[in-house]
Structure 1
C-alpha cells in the first residue's frame, strides 16, 4: 500500500493542467490513519494561488473539451470505468486506510464510484433537445443544451471516490472542465481518481485537483472567479448555506447535497428478518457516516421487542476494528472530534431516560472508535433524534398511530432519505408519498443508484445527481428561433 501511495506523489499533489507539482508556497498537510492516528503521508497544501492556476488550466481546456464529440468524451469515461475496476483492490485499501471504513465497504464504494463513469459515458451520447412549430406559426423552435463552463466541485471525506466520480462523470459527459477540492481527511483517493482519468485519455486541464487544509481560501477563489460558472458541493448544511451565499454574489449555478436525518419505519406487518437486514445496511454502512444513514428508527409497538432483539443481536455481532483488517465490519470514526460529538448526543439521551439495549465491543486503546449501539426508550425531544448523528448509533422509538408517526418523521428541517418496511406495498408507498424526503427506500436499506436521481428537499439540498438529471445539472439550455415564413 505504501508503494501505491508513493506512486501518487502526494507531495506533488497539486494536479493542474495534466501535471503534478507542490503548492505555490511549498506547504503540506498531514493525512492520518483514523484507526491509529499514525501519519500516512504529507500532501501538497493548495493555496489561493494554486486555486487560480487550476481555473487557468480548466478555462484553457474548456473550449476544446466542450467541442469534443460526445462519443470521444464517452470513451474517456468508459475507459476510466474499466481502469477503476482494474485497481479495485488498491483503491479499496487506500480508502480503508485514509478513511477508515472496512475493506468490504471500501470495495463496494469503488464499484459504486466506477458505475458513475459508466453511466455518464452512456449519457454523454444521448442528446437532449427538441424541435417544434411555434404556436403562432411563422417560425420553428430548436432547443438544445451546452456545457455550463468551468465547474468547481467540493467533495466530502466519507465517500472519497464516489462523491468525486458522481460529480466528475456528468461534468465531463456534458463537456465541462472541472476543478476539484477533496476533503483534507481523504485527498489521496481523489489523486488516484485524477490519475485514472489521465490514463483514460482526459486531455490536460480537463480535470484539476487542489488538495488543501485551507478550503475557504481555495473555494472562495473559485467562486470569485468569473470563469467558474458551476458549483457542485456535497457536505454539511451549514457549509452549504455559506457557499450558496457566496455563489449568489455572481449568480453561480449551484447544486447542493447536504445533511440528512433519515427515518427508518418498521410497520407491524413488516418482514422482521428483511427489516433487520435493511437496518444493518442503512445504519452501519461506513459506520453510520453517511448522509443517507438511518438516523432514527420508528418501530411499531406490535413488533418493537422482536425487532430490537434481532437487530441488537446483529449489532452485537459486528466486528469493530481497523478498516484494513480483513474481519472488520465497522471501522473507526473519521476523527476524535466525531467521537466526542457522538458521545455527547448519546450521553444526553441517556440522561433524559434512554437506555442502551445492545452494544458491540470496540477497541479502546487507539484510534477513533465508537461501538455500534442500539438505544431504546428514547425521548421524543432527544437531540440525537433531531441532529445528524453521523455514527453507529441507532435510537429506537415506538409508534402506534400513523398520523403521529408522520408528524415525528417529518419534524425536521432535513429531507434527504427515508426507509419504510412493510408487508403491504400499497401502504408503504402511500406513506412514502407523505414523507418529506427526496428518496425513500421501500423494503430495502439502500437508495443510492447512479441511474436514479439522488438528492433531497428542504435543507438537504438543491438539485439532483445521477440519472439524466445529473448531466443536466452541468448544462445550460439554449434555443434558436428560426424564421419559417412563406
Structure 2
C-alpha cells in the first residue's frame, strides 16, 4: 500500500479552474489536519470570492459545448472514471481516513459505494428521453424533450468526502451540465484527488471546477447570486440549507437540498433481536455516527428494551477506538474538537435529566478529537438529543408500549430523512411504511443507501432526490413543443 506521505504528494493542492490547477489569486492557503492527532496533513489553496467567480466563468464558457456532447461520450468518460477510482481504491480510502478519521475498512466501503454513482450515471447518460404523442383533441402532436438545466453549484459536506462528490458530480456530467464544486474545508483532499481522476479519465477542461475556501459563506453567496447559475445542490445542515434556499430564491434556482436527520430506529416486541442489534450498530456507529442517516432515537418496545440495551452495551464495550489506520479500529476520531464537544453536551444534558449512561460518556485525554461509543437508557422526553441531530457515536434508548405510541414518537420531529423498523410482522411493516414520515426506510435493515435508489427526505430534511433515475432529473429541464396537425 502507498505510504501516507507519498499519497499526499499525489493530491493536487490548488484550485481547479478551467482545467488547470492554479493558486488562489491572493496566494492564501489553508491547512488540512488529521483529526486523530491534530497534525497538519498539507496546505491547500484558499479561494477568494474572485476565484469563485473565475471558476463560474470557466464553467459557463463551456456549457453550450458540453451540453452538445454526445450522451455516449459523457457516459464513457464517467465509465473511465469509475475504472480509475476502482484502480485507486486503496489511495482514496487512505486519503479519507487521513482527513476525516473514519476507520479504513469503512473508508474502503465508501469508495465502493461512491464509485457506484459513476457507473450508474454512466449508464443513465444514454437513457435521457422525452415522449411523443397525439394531444387529446387530436389536433396535433405533443413532443417533450429533456435539456441540461445549465451551470450548477455543488456544495458537498465533510462526512462522506468521495460519495457526496460523486453523487452530485456524476449526474451533472451525465446530464450535460457544467459545475463549480465547493468541498468542505475540513475534508477537501478527496474531492481534489477525485477531480484529478476525472481529468485523467478525459473530462474536458472547464466542465468541473473545484474551489476550496475558508470563506465559504461569501464565496457561495456570490456564485448563487450570479444570474448565469441555474442549479444549486447542497448537502449539509438544515440551518445552512435554509439560508442557501433564501439566497437561491432571488434567481429562482433549481435546488436540491439533502439536509439534517433525526432518524428513529424502532424495535417491536416481535423483532429478531440478534438482527436488530446488528442493524442498530450499523445504523448508529457507521462513520462514527457522523451521518445524516445515522439512527438518532432508538425506540424499543418496553418488553424487550432491557435485553436490547444489555446486548447493545455488551457489543459497544468491545469496540476499539483509535486512529482509523490501525487494525481493528471501529471508532475513529470525530472530525474536529467541536464535534466532540457537541456530542458530549448532548450526553451530559440527557444524563442530567435522568438518563443512565451504560458505557462511554466521557471525553478521553488527547491528542486527537475522540469521543467513545456511548449508550444511554431511560432517556427522558425533554432530553435535547431526542430533538437535535447527534452526529456522533451516541445511542439513546427510549421505551414504548404500543404501535401507536411508536409512530407518534418516531414522527415527533421536524426532520424526515430516514427511519428504521424491526418487526417480523409483514402487515405491521407495511403500516410503518405508510405511517412514518420519512423519505426513506429500512425494514429489518440498518444500512439502506444504494446508487440505484432515490436518496432524500421530507419535511425539513430537504427537497429533491439523489441517485437512481430520479437523480439525473434534478439536472434536467423539460421542454414541451406542440406541432399542429397539417
Does TM-score exceed 0.5, indicating one fold?
yes
The whole-number CA distance in structure 2 between the counterparts of 1:2 and 1:84 is 20
The whole-number CA distance in structure 2 between the counterparts of 1:479 and 1:75 is 29
Superposed, 1:36-435 pairs within 5 Å as 36-359=37-360, 364-435=365-436
Structure 2: segments with no counterpart, 5+ residues: none
Give secondary structure in 1 for the equivalent of 2:126: coil
2:29 is aligned to 28
The whole-number CA distance in structure 1 between the counterparts of 2:128 and 2:42 is 44
The whole-number CA distance in structure 2 between the counterparts of 1:358 and 1:128 is 54
Change (3 A) 1:361 1:354: closer
Offset of 1:2 from its aligned partner?
1.6
The whole-number CA distance in structure 2 between the counterparts of 1:360 and 1:80 is 43
CA RMSD of aligned residues (A): 1.1
The whole-number CA distance in structure 2 between the counterparts of 1:189 and 1:278 is 28
The whole-number CA distance in structure 2 between the counterparts of 1:423 and 1:138 is 55
Offset of 1:378 from its aligned partner?
0.4
- For structure 1, which segment, 360-369 or 255-264, has the greater mean C-alpha deviation from structure 2 after superposition? 360-369
Residues 347, 361 of structure 2: 8 Å contact kept: no
Give secondary structure in 1 for the equivalent of 2:251: coil
The whole-number CA distance in structure 2 between the counterparts of 1:475 and 1:61 is 17
Residues 419, 443 of structure 1: 8 Å contact kept: yes
Change (3 A) 1:360 1:110: farther
Q: TM-score, normalization: structure 2?
A: 0.98
The whole-number CA distance in structure 1 between the counterparts of 2:293 and 2:465 is 14
Question: Which 4+ runs in 1 deviate beyond 2 A?
Answer: 358-365
Give secondary structure in 1 for the equivalent of 2:412: coil
The whole-number CA distance in structure 1 between the counterparts of 2:7 and 2:58 is 27
Change (3 A) 1:208 1:110: same
Give secondary structure in 1 for the equivalent of 2:300: strand
Give secondary structure in 2 for the equivalent of 1:452: coil
The whole-number CA distance in structure 1 between the counterparts of 2:184 and 2:271 is 39
Q: How many aligned positions are there?
A: 483
2:10 is aligned to 7
Offset of 1:211 from its aligned partner?
0.6
Offset of 1:15 from its aligned partner?
0.5
Structure 1: segments with no counterpart, 5+ residues: none
Q: TM-score, normalization: structure 1?
A: 0.98
The whole-number CA distance in structure 2 between the counterparts of 1:334 and 1:126 is 39
The whole-number CA distance in structure 1 between the counterparts of 2:440 and 2:430 is 12
Residues 167, 466 of structure 2: 8 Å contact kept: yes
Change (3 A) 1:361 1:328: farther
Residues 321, 363 of structure 1: 8 Å contact kept: no
Give secondary structure in 2 for the equivalent of 1:228: coil
